[in-house]
Amino acid sequence: MYVTHDKDDGSWQFLCGQSDHTDANAKVISLKEATKIDKTINDLYELPLGAGAERKSIQDIWIPFTFK
């Protein structure tokens, strides 16, 4: 539900939108694996470094944003 394209190292973060997770819940996967889980991630391929996108549900479209 929440994606960031990190400015400092170009990595991507895919988050479910919940705030009650711990480090033990985190997983490192490839971008290829993430797109297998959710094909709509491909819609974000032009998301620039230092930007993100979010949506309220998996049926909604991604709404891009930039960090200030």
- Per the DSSP assignment, residues forming a β-bridge with 39 are none
User: pTM value?
Assistant: 0.81
Q: Which domain holds residue 45?
A: 2-66
Number of domains in the chain: 1
As a whole number of angstroms, the distance between CA 32 and CA 39 comes to 10
* Residue-level pLDDT, tens digit, the chain, 68 residues: 999 999 999 999 998 877 787 888 888 899 899 999 999 999 999 999 999 999 999 899 999 999 87
- Per the DSSP assignment, residues forming a β-bridge with 54 are 2, 63
At residue 17, the pLDDT reads 77
Q: 62 CB contacts (<8 Å, ≥6 apart)?
A: 3, 40, 43, 44, 53, 54, 55
Phi, psi of 40 (to 5 degrees): -70, -15
At residue 46, the pLDDT reads 93
